[in-house]
Amino acid sequence: MPSFSYRALQADGKIAEGVLDAGSRPDALRQIETLGLRPVKVAEIIFKAAKNGSVQAGSSAGLGNFSFKIGAKKVSAKELENFTRLLSSLLAAGVPLSRALVILQKEASSPASKAQWKQIHDYVVDGLSLADAMAKSPETFPRVYIAMVEAGEAGGFLDVVLAQIAEFQSREKELKSKVMTAMLYPCILLVLALVVLTVLLVFFIPKFQRVFASIHGSLPLITQMIIGASHLMRAYGLLAGVGLVGLFFLVRTWFASAKGKRIWEGSVLKAPLVGPLIAQFAMARFCRMLGTLIGAGVPLVHGLNVARRSIGNQILVDAVAQSIERVQQGGRLGQSLADCRSLFPGSVLEMISVAEESGRLDAELVRIAAETETDLDRNLKTAVAFAEPLMLFLIAGFIGVIFIGMLLPVLSMGEYIK
C-alpha cells in the first residue's frame, strides 16, 4: 500500500507532520481530516532501489517540485495555450475538473508541463480553487490569466472564460508574430550597421587619421567628432561594453521592483505611439471581462474588482480602483469611471452611462470591447508599418553621416595639394 507524508494544521494552529498508509491520495486526505487536521501538503512517498540494494524513499510532490523549479525548463506559451484550450473543451463536455487535469497531465508534451499540470491537480484535489492553484506558479500563469480564471469560477462559466483566454493568447501570439516579422529586416540592418560602424571606428578611421594629419588645415567639425569617437572606442570600448552590460542588468532589476515598475508603466502610457495602444488593449480586456461577468450574474462591485486585475498596467489598475470605491458608495459606473480619461474616452463613458440606464450594460461592454479590438488591430498594423521605414531611415542617416564626415576631407585634399 502506498505511503504518504503530510503537513497539516492542528486546531490550535500548529503544524503537524507525519506519514500514513492509504490506498490513494483522496484516502490519505480523508484519514488526515478524520484525525481533526486540516491538510496543507500531501505527497506520496516513492521508494527507489539504490545501487547497493537498499531502499531509499523520495516524495513525488516534494522532491519532484523542487527539481522542476530548479532544473526543468519553463512551460512554453504554446503548451499553456494548448492546456487552456483543451481544458475548456473538456469542461464544456461535462468532464469534472480533477479528471480533466489528469487527462491533460497524461497528454502533456514535455516533462515541465507534465509536472506543472500534476502540481495544479494536486492543489485542486487538496481543496484549492483552480485560480489559487495557478497563482502558486506565477512563472507559468500570468496575473491576467489567473484573474480571468477566478472570474470564471466566481460566475460558474469557467469553460467559457478558458476559451476566451485561449483566444486572447492566440491573438497576442499572432500580434507578436506580426511585429517580429515586420521588425526582423530593420533589426538585421541595425546589427549590420553596428558591426560596420565598429569596424570603421576601430580599424579604418585610424588609417585615415594619418592621411588627415598631413593636411595643413583644420578638419571639418563632423570629421573631428568621428575621429574623437574612434579614439574613445579604441581606448575605452571594452570597458564601456562591460559597463553597459552591468548598467542594463541594474536597470532591469530596478524596473522589476514595485516602484520601478510603476515608473516604467507610467512612462510607457505617456509615449506618443505606444501609450494609446496599451490603453486601448487594457480597456478592451477590462470591458470584455466585466461584460462577461455581469452577464453571468456576478454583482457589479465584485465584477469590477476581478476585471480590474485583467488590465495589466498598475497605473491603470489604481485609477480603476478609485472608481470602484465610488460605485461601492452608490455612484453609477459611467460617472465613477470619468476620472480614468487615460483608459476610457468620453464617448465610451457616454455609451456605458446610457447602457447602464437602459439595463443592457453587459451586452454594451462586450460590444465596446469588440469594436476596440478591431480598432486596435488597425492601429497596430499602422504602427508596425510606420516603424519599419523609420528604422531604415535612421540607420541610413546614421551611416551616411559617418561616410560623409570621412569623405569631406578627402574631397578637399586637391585644394590643399594645389
Residues 6+ apart with CB under 8 A from 296: 155, 156, 157
Q: What CATH code would you report for 178-418?
A: 1.20.81.30
pLDDT tens for 163-200 read 877 876 776 677 667 667 766 776 787 787 778 778 87
The pLDDT value recorded for residue 160 is: 82
Highest mean pLDDT pick, 65-79, 143-157, 177-191, 404-418: 143-157
Q: Is 339 helix (H, G, I), strand (E, B) or coil?
A: helix
Hey, where are the domains in the chain? 3-60, 75-168, 178-418
Residues 6+ apart with CB under 8 A from 263: 255
For the chain, what percent of residues have pLDDT higher than 90? 4
pLDDT of 327 above 80: yes
Backbone angles phi, psi at 112, to 5 degrees: -65, -45
pLDDT tens for 223-260 read 788 888 888 888 887 888 888 889 988 888 887 787 78
The pLDDT value recorded for residue 49 is: 44
For the chain, what percent of residues have pLDDT higher than 70? 83
Split at pLDDT 50, 70, 90, the class of 86 is: very high
User: In whole angstroms, what is the distance from residue 305 CA to residue 317 CA?
Assistant: 10
Q: Is the pTM of this model over 0.75?
A: no
Residue 369 grid cell: 470591447
pLDDT tens for 269-285 read 787 777 888 888 888 87
User: In whole angstroms, what is the distance from residue 281 CA to residue 377 CA?
Assistant: 10
Of 4-18, 114-128, 242-256, 367-381, which range is least confident? 4-18
The label of the residue with cell 490569466 reads 145
pLDDT of 368 above 70: yes
* Cross-strand partners of 8: 16, 39
Radius of gyration of the chain (CA): 30
Q: Which is higher by pLDDT, 235 or 53?
A: 235
Fold of 75-168: Receptor-associated Protein (1.20.81)
CA-nearest of 124, 99, 126, 108 to 4 is 126
**Positive or negative CA dihedral for 21, 24, 25, 29?**
negative
- Same CATH topology for 75-168 and 178-418? yes
Chain CA centroid to CA 154, Å: 24
CB contact at 8 A, 9 and 40: yes
